[in-house]
């Protein structure tokens, strides 16, 4: 870890000012010299590993007073960015009307981490690619743009099969983001020039030629809240992983259905553990809409979701696994009692 | 009694709580890194980013500019150290690769520089700023890499003396009615004890104190003295508590003498705290292994031929191997046996002991093969073991001192509900889950080593036991206190035990499950001498003194037949007769069959372990049987293990509570080894990839909802005075095979390579 300044921001203006002051270098947010600190469960790790080297830390936890509300309404849900994962997961109305959100949070990390980690920080968490996290590897396009990718032909069991580029195959590791992207969530962002709203689907950027740029957030901007339109009581988060708890997904599916008289009126499918960014499978959703559900349809949907997937040496299994996870999540969503 | 404190059966001690329980749960227990130092400097290691090649140059300018940096030590300015031989070749070291000696790099993560600074933070920051230019050479990573060399273990590893064989394997296998040939593979694994590989060194004049978690303080003391070229009596190693060892702290690692040397030069105490990932390369590991098993049997299930060939990866300079054929060739009755252990040299760090070193990989192969044979024979796997059970090992024809293998199978099978198993694979399920039951035998050699102890008894019953044994989490303090209390007849709470200090009387390495047998035998002997002195003072006739040997307790009424006619000893009267307030005895105990140089070796840090198959006219092993339920998800192929049941017999059980705890930990580790633990190696550069606890998976509580330990009563008078077989390494041996056997039962798929992960399942 390298020396850094620490400032505790007591209100949003103070936080934004402190973050912008150090933002002049025009780096992507992930490399910005000033970093906001919420739960700290990713940032501190990466600082210890010398992967992130901010000169200034702006502690935004005091903002939780106004930014941590959990507000279920008749036409949707609003979640403050500084709400703790554990509080949202345990909220009775979210468990009832948004099980995909509650379960994506409950199945993430450990109880201790969920008690510390915030929703805003959770969606911003960075990849678990071992080569990204080990600075003794020079070749990481995400850390050192243009240096190559050690994972491409290295040990890549946990890496992505969707949304990859010839520059980067690092997996987006989170769970909650799959629920957000599936439910057409919006992100509320606050910056010095004011507030803006953005579809959650536009927050993360696929690696393409610039894997070092991971989101469209600008330095000095903060996520203040997420809003989710509608209610999705028929929704499921299914997560396959090596151990029963405290482990990232090898493959996961966030599925939400609106079924009326056996016909699927609306369907949402998002994939975790298999893609470089939170991943919405829109082609798969299109196959479901207006259809009656059966296992054959589930299979076609799963195939469509992974039609573009490309496996490498150790992660090819994720394509077959991902399809089974999608199909099973759909079955579970269709049959759930609501 | 509770589940954690099982009711003692015959030949078991009381399940008293841990001696240091309160100290540990309140944080008062002081581990090596907790020891206060006077104005210490802090060290941080720089380790190599290549596995083979050389360092061309360092650029230290940036690092030196960090405020608080005192010195940066590289091969160009490191203290000169003497070499130490490998532990298994009569030395102290876990590797002969001595870093900071030259510009050469021999393995990934080798120590190449040590930054010394006024704070840990400054040392770490400066270490991050050290720039190194290398000339890298393509390394050989493992078995299938080009450039490795392979040779028989026999002849290159002093501790591997024989490839056991008997009869005519080739002929018998050829003629066998039922034959099985199968290959198995186990991965690289790392111990990952919670306590990191820290070292603090402080000099007082020419005397050195080392605070370091060690499983062998006498070995470390003598090893560091040898490397520094100083008298071993000038070195003291202190660690009253060790945060887990599992073999990783049994032999000396190169870091200690380096830190001691730098502390001497700096004339200041130094504290080193390496990181978790550095721990993967600055200490040892369990090497990856490959096996081929050939079994020939009659239709009745009787083995007629058994061959076990094993291959293990070691480093370029060191011929380390575990050679588990000594166990697998002797486990079952079989007249024709052959075996061969080979060592494959690659560009890796030298591997070392890891919990049940030989038995874990080798029994996985044999016990998987036995299950495969049972399938071929259409026979219950428990019955196949029964048919081949024996009280005489087949290689040398020596009798087992005691062997409760089938009793363990029967007890565990009953508790598990084995009779509910439908034998057909893929025939049991529960919702989304395919259910499988599997079992395997487990065993571990009974080993002992010379040990000393000092015991002091005061007139008021207060007792002090001193022995340089090791509390690695096993319960050593507790069972030693119980032994002294029982032997002297004083209340347990009056016994104070001092361990983990090389200024105390020597104990052997806490490895090979020998500690309880060795240290408790020594403590018993010394307590008996104290009792005899007291008895002699009041009853100075020899015959009565002899009787005293049979007497249990001084202040208590004698309980044995022999002493019943005598009045109980009045302890205060005895002290008055002796005319002293304290009686103290020091004694050195050695097991039957220990070599002539045992005591000299004990003091110079060489543990002369005896036992197992190396006893003269007998063979001593502890046994157990393990049953597991495995569930495989039809959709995700996730593999879970909701139930582990093990029954174990290991001679006298000193304390059912600590015994259960160790065996439970063993079962869990065994499951972990089968399903989770593997160190991934990047074949291109021979570097470890998942060198942290987020990526090197071990079970969380949710992975082990049901673990049941059954302790069987067993008495063995042919092993050591304590009657103890040792059980620290007993439980994690059979689990790998039991899990794979259960996966076969659940899915019909035989998996012969560990760990088994969801992508290996095809259902």
Residue A24 belongs to a domain with what CATH number?
3.30.43.10
A86, A218: one domain: yes
Q: Cα separations (Å) of B478 from A39, B473, B482, B492, B738?
A: 41, 11, 6, 9, 32
Residue B239 burial class via C-beta count within 10 angstroms: exposed 0-12, middle 13-18, buried 19 and up: buried
State residue B195's pLDDT score. Answer: 97
At CB < 8 A and 24+ separation, what contacts does A14-22 make?
Answer: A15/A58, A15/A60, A15/A63, A15/A222, A16/A190, A16/A191, A16/A192, A16/A220, A16/A221, A16/A222, A17/A192, A18/A56, A18/A58, A19/A58, A19/A219, A19/A220, A19/A221, A19/A222, A20/A192, A20/A219, A20/A220, A21/A56, A22/A55, A22/A56
A267 touches chain B (CB under 8 A): no
For chain B, which residues make up each domain, given as ranges?
1-7+400-446+620-763, 32-139+198-275, 450-609
- Across B632-653, average pLDDT: 98
CATH architecture of B32-139+198-275: Alpha-Beta Complex (3.90)
CATH architecture of B1-7+400-446+620-763: 2-Layer Sandwich (3.30)
Q: Cα separations (Å) of B202 from A112, B49, B123, B283, B751?
A: 37, 30, 18, 22, 51
Tell me which of B634, B759, B761 to substitute to probe the interface with A (most A C-beta atoms closer than 10 Å).
B759
Answer whether residue B560 shows pLDDT above 60. Answer: no
pLDDT digits (tens, 9 = 90+) for B500-509: 999 999 999 9
> How large is the C-alpha radius of gyration of chain A?
19
State residue B535's pLDDT score. Answer: 86
Write the residue in A131, A136, A328 that is nearest to B635 by C-beta: A328
Q: Are B46 and B115 in contact (CB under 8 A)?
A: yes
A vs B, Cβ pairs < 8 A, gives 79
- Same topology between domain B1-7+400-446+620-763 and domain B32-139+198-275: no
Contacts of A136 in chain B (CB under 8 A): 49
- Cβ distance B128 to A321 less than 8 Å, yes or no, reads no
- What's the rounded Cα separation, in Å, for the pair B552 and B535? 12
> Closest-CA residue in chain B for A324?
B635
State residue B546's pLDDT score. Answer: 57
Confidence of residue B582 (pLDDT cuts 50, 70, 90): very high
Tell me which of A244, A314, A331 to substitute to probe the interface with B (most B C-beta atoms closer than 10 Å).
A244
- Across B535-548, average pLDDT: 67
Contacts of A3 in chain B (CB under 8 A): 121, 125
Q: Are B325 and B290 in contact (CB under 8 A)?
A: no
Q: CATH no. for residue A246? A: 3.30.390.50
B182 touches chain A (CB under 8 A): no
User: How much of chain B, in percent, has pLDDT values that exceed 90?
Assistant: 94
pLDDT digits (tens, 9 = 90+) for B65-120: 999 999 999 999 999 999 999 998 899 999 999 999 999 999 999 999 999 999 99
A106, A239: one domain: no
A216, A242: one domain: no
Answer whether residue B545 shows pLDDT above 70. Answer: no
DSSP state of B607: -
Q: Are B351 and B250 in contact (CB under 8 A)?
A: no
State residue B200's pLDDT score. Answer: 98
Residues 231-260 of B with CB under 8 A from A: none
Span between the terminal Cα atoms of chain B, in Å: 44
Write the residue in B128, B694, B758 that is nearest to A240 by C-beta: B758
A253 touches chain B (CB under 8 A): no
Residue B148 burial class via C-beta count within 10 angstroms: exposed 0-12, middle 13-18, buried 19 and up: middle
| CB neighbour burial string for B28-48, b if at least 16 within 10 angstroms, e if fewer | ebebbbebebeebbbbbbbbb
- Cβ distance A325 to B635 less than 8 Å, yes or no, reads yes
Answer whether residue B539 shows pLDDT above 80. Answer: no
Strand blocks (E) in B99-231: 104-105, 111-117, 131-136, 149-152, 178-186, 199-204, 207-211
- What's the rounded Cα separation, in Å, for the pair B674 and B664? 15
Q: Is B745 left (phi over 0), alpha (psi -120 to 50) or beta?
A: alpha
Write the residue in B121, B690, B700 that is nearest to A246 by C-beta: B700
Residues 465-494 of B with CB under 8 A from A: none
Residue A50 lies in a domain: yes
- Return all residues near B295 (Cβ < 8 A) that are at least 6 apart: B179, B180, B303, B305, B306, B369, B370, B373
- What's the rounded Cα separation, in Å, for the pair B372 and B294? 11
Residue A164 lies in a domain: no
Q: Are B27 and B500 in contact (CB under 8 A)?
A: no
Min Cα distance B367 → chain A (Å) is: 25
B638 touches chain A (CB under 8 A): yes
Answer whether residue B557 shows pLDDT above 90. Answer: no
A319 touches chain B (CB under 8 A): no
- Across B54-70, average pLDDT: 98
- Cβ distance A1 to B638 less than 8 Å, yes or no, reads no
State residue B306's pLDDT score. Answer: 98
A214, A185: one domain: yes
Residue A141 lies in a domain: no
State residue B451's pLDDT score. Answer: 98
CB atoms within 10 A of CB A260: 8
What is the third-level CATH fold of B450-609?
A: Aldehyde Oxidoreductase; domain 4 (3.30.365)
**What is the average pLDDT score of chain B?**
95
Least reliable range by pLDDT among A277-286, B286-295, B497-506, B555-564: B555-564
- Asked if ipTM goes beyond 0.90, one says yes
B693 touches chain A (CB under 8 A): no
Q: Give φ, ψ of B257 to 5 degrees.
A: -65, -30
State residue A191's pLDDT score. Answer: 93
> Closest-CA residue in chain A for B703?
A244
Report the number of distinct structural domains present in chain A. Answer: 3
pLDDT digits (tens, 9 = 90+) for B327-361: 999 999 999 999 999 999 999 999 999 999 999 99
Residues 156-175 of A with CB under 8 A from B: 157
pLDDT by residue for chain A (338 residues), tens digit each? 899 999 999 999 999 999 987 666 667 777 788 999 999 999 999 999 999 999 999 999 999 999 999 999 999 999 999 999 999 999 999 999 999 999 999 999 999 999 999 999 999 999 999 999 999 999 999 999 999 999 999 999 999 999 999 999 999 999 999 999 999 999 999 998 899 999 999 999 999 999 999 999 988 899 999 999 999 999 999 999 999 999 999 999 999 999 999 999 999 999 999 999 999 999 999 999 999 999 999 999 999 999 999 999 999 999 999 999 999 999 999 999 98
- Across B617-633, average pLDDT: 98
Residue A132 lies in a domain: no
Min Cα distance B123 → chain A (Å) is: 10
Local structure of B451: helix, strand or coil: strand
Q: Are B654 and B483 in contact (CB under 8 A)?
A: yes
Residue A204 lies in a domain: yes
Tell me which of B680, B682, B706 to substitute to probe the interface with A (most A C-beta atoms closer than 10 Å).
B682
pLDDT digits (tens, 9 = 90+) for B562-577: 344 345 667 888 999 9
Q: Quote the domain boundaries for residue A15.
A: 5-62
- Return all residues near B331 (Cβ < 8 A) that are at least 6 apart: B363, B366, B441, B443
- Cβ distance B682 to A321 less than 8 Å, yes or no, reads no
Q: CATH no. for residue A90? A: 3.30.465.10
State residue B544's pLDDT score. Answer: 56
B729 has catalytic annotation: yes
Going by C-alpha positions, the residue among B111, B143, B164, B218 that lies closest to residue B614 is B164
Least reliable range by pLDDT among B11-25, B176-190, B535-549: B535-549
A84, A192: one domain: yes
Residue B119 burial class via C-beta count within 10 angstroms: exposed 0-12, middle 13-18, buried 19 and up: middle
At CB < 8 A and 24+ separation, what contacts does A150-157 make?
Answer: A150/B682, A152/A312, A153/A312, A153/A313, A153/B684, A154/B682, A154/B684, A154/B689, A155/A130, A155/A314, A155/B680, A155/B681, A155/B682, A155/B689, A155/B690, A156/A312, A156/A313, A156/A314, A156/A315, A157/A314, A157/A315, A157/B680, A157/B759
Residue A221: in which H helix or E strand, if any?
A: none
Min Cα distance B573 → chain A (Å) is: 60
Q: Are B755 and B678 in contact (CB under 8 A)?
A: yes
Please calculate the CA angle B491-B494-B495 and round it to the nearest 5 degrees: 100
Final residue belonging to a domain, choices A62, A78, A95: A62
CB atoms within 10 A of CB A56: 18
State residue A26's pLDDT score. Answer: 61
Answer whether residue B664 shows pLDDT above 60. Answer: yes
- Across B728-748, average pLDDT: 98
Going by C-alpha positions, the residue among B481, B514, B519 that lies closest to residue B730 is B514
Residues 88-117 of A with CB under 8 A from B: 110
């Amino acid at each position: 870890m390298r020396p850094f300044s620490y400032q505790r921001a007591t209100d949003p203006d103070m936080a934004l000012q402190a973050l912008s002051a150090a933002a002049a270098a025009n780096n992507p947010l992930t490399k910005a010299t000033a970093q906001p600190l919420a739960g700290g469960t990713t940032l501190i790790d990466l600082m210890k590993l010398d992967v992130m080297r901010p000169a200034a830390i702006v502690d935004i936890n005091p903002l939780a007073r106004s930014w941590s509300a959990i507000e279920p309404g008749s036409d949707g849900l609003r979640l403050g960015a500084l709400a703790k994962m554990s509080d949202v997961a345990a909220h009775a109305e979210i468990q009832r009307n948004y099980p995909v959100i509650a379960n994506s949070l409950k199945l993430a990390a450990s109880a201790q981490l969920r008690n510390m980690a915030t929703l805003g920080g959770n969606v911003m968490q960075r990849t678990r690619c071992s080569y990204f996290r080990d600075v003794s590897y020079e070749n990481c396009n995400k850390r050192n743009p243009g240096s190559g990718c050690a994972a491409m032909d290295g040990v890549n069991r946990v890496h992505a099969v969707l949304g990859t580029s010839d520059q980067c195959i690092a997996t987006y590791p989170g769970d909650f983001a799959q629920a957000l992207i599936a439910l057409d969530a919006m992100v509320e962002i606050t910056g010095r020039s004011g507030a803006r709203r953005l579809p959650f689907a536009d927050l993360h950027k696929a690696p393409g030629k610039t894997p070092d740029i991971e989101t469209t957030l600008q330095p000095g901007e903060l996520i203040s809240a997420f809003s989710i339109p509608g209610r999705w009581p028929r929704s499921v988060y299914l997560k396959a992983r090596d151990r029963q708890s405290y482990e990232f997904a090898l493959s996961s599916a966030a599925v939400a259905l609106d079924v009326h008289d056996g016909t699927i009126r609306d369907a949402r499918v998002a994939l975790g553990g298999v893609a470089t960014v939170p991943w919405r499978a829109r082609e798969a959703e299109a196959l479901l809409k207006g259809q009656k559900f059966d296992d054959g349809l589930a299979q076609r949907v799963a195939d469509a979701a992974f039609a573009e997937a490309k496996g490498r040496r150790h992660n090819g299994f994720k394509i077959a696994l991902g399809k089974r996870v999608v199909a099973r999540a759909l079955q579970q969503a269709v049959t759930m009692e609501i | 009694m509770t589940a954690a404190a099982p009711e003692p059966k015959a030949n078991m001690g009381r399940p008293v709580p841990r001696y240091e329980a309160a100290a540990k749960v309140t944080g008062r227990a002081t581990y090596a890194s907790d020891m206060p130092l006077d104005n210490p400097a802090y060290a941080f290691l720089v380790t190599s980013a290549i596995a083979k090649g050389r360092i061309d140059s360092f650029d230290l300018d940036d690092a030196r500019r960090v405020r608080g940096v005192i010195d940066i030590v590289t091969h160009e300015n490191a203290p000169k150290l003497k070499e130490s031989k490998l532990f298994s070749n009569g030395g102290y070291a876990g590797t002969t690769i001595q870093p900071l000696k030259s510009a050469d790099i021999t393995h990934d993560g080798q120590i190449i520089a040590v930054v010394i600074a006024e704070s840990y933070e400054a040392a770490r920051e400066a270490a991050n700023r050290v720039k190194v230019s290398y000339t890298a050479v393509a390394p050989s990573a493992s078995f299938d890499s080009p450039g490795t060399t392979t040779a028989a273990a026999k002849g290159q590893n002093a501790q591997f003396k024989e490839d056991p064989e008997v009869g005519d394997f080739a002929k018998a296998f050829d003629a066998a009615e039922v034959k099985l040939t199968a290959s198995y593979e186990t991965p690289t694994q790392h111990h990952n004890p919670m306590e990191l590989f820290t070292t603090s060194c402080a000099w007082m004049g020419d005397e050195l104190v080392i605070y370091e978690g060690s499983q062998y303080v006498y070995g470390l003391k003598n090893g560091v003295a040898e490397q520094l070229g100083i008298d071993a009596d000038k070195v003291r190693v202190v660690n009253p508590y060790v945060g887990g060892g599992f073999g990783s702290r049994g032999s000396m690692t190169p870091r200690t003498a380096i830190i001691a040397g730098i502390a001497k030069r700096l004339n200041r105490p130094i504290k080193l705290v390496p990181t978790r990932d550095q721990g993967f390369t600055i200490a040892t590991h369990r090497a990856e292994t490959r096996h081929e098993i050939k079994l020939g049997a009659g239709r009745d299930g009787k083995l007629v031929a058994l061959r076990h060939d094993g291959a293990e990866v070691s480093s370029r300079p060191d011929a380390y191997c575990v050679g588990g054929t000594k166990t697998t060739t002797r486990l079952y009755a079989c007249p024709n046996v052959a075996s061969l252990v080979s060592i494959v040299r690659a560009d890796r760090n030298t591997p070392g002991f890891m919990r049940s070193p030989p038995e874990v990989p080798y029994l996985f192969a044999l016990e998987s093969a036995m299950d495969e044979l049972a399938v071929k024979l259409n026979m219950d796997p428990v019955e196949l073991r029964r048919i081949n059970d024996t009280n005489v090992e087949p290689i040398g024809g020596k009798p087992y001192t005691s062997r409760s293998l089938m009793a363990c199978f029967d007890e565990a099978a009953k508790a598990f509900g084995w009779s509910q198993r439908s034998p057909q694979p893929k025939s049991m399920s529960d919702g989304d889950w395919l259910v499988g039951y599997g079992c395997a035998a487990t065993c571990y050699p009974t080993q002992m080593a010379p040990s000393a102890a000092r015991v002091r008894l005061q007139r008021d019953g207060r007792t002090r036991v001193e022995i340089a044994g090791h509390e690695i989490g096993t319960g050593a303090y507790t069972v030693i206190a119980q032994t002294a209390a029982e032997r002297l007849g004083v209340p347990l709470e009056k016994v104070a035990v001092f361990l983990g200090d090389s200024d105390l009387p020597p104990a052997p390495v806490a490895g090979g499950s020998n500690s309880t047998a060795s240290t408790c035998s020594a403590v018993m002997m010394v307590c008996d001498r104290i009792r005899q002195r007291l008895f002699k003072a009041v009853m100075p006739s020899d015959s009565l003194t002899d009787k005293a040997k049979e007497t249990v307790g001084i202040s208590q009424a004698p309980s044995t037949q022999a002493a019943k006619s005598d009045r109980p000893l009045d302890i205060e009267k005895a002290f008055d007769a002796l005319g002293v307030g304290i009686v103290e005895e020091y004694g050195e105990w050695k097991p039957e069959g220990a070599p002539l140089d045992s005591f000299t070796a004990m003091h110079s840090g060489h543990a002369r372990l005896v036992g197992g198959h190396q006893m003269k006219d007998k063979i001593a092993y502890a046994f157990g049987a393990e049953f597991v339920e495995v569930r495989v998800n039809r959709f995700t192929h996730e593999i879970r293990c909701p139930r582990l049941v093990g029954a174990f017999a290991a001679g006298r059980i000193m304390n059912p509570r600590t015994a259960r705890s160790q065996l439970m930990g063993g079962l869990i580790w065994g499951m972990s080894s089968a399903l989770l633990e593997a160190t991934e190696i990047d074949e291109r550069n021979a570097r470890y990839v998942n060198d942290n606890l987020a990526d090197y998976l071990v079970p969380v509580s949710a992975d082990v909802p049901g673990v049941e330990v059954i302790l069987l009563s067993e008495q063995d008078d042919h092993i050591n005075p304590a009657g103890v077989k040792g059980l620290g390494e007993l439980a994690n041996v059979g689990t790998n095979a039991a899990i794979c056997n259960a996966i076969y039962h659940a899915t019909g798929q035989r998996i012969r390579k560990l760990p088994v992960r969801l992508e290996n399942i095809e259902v």
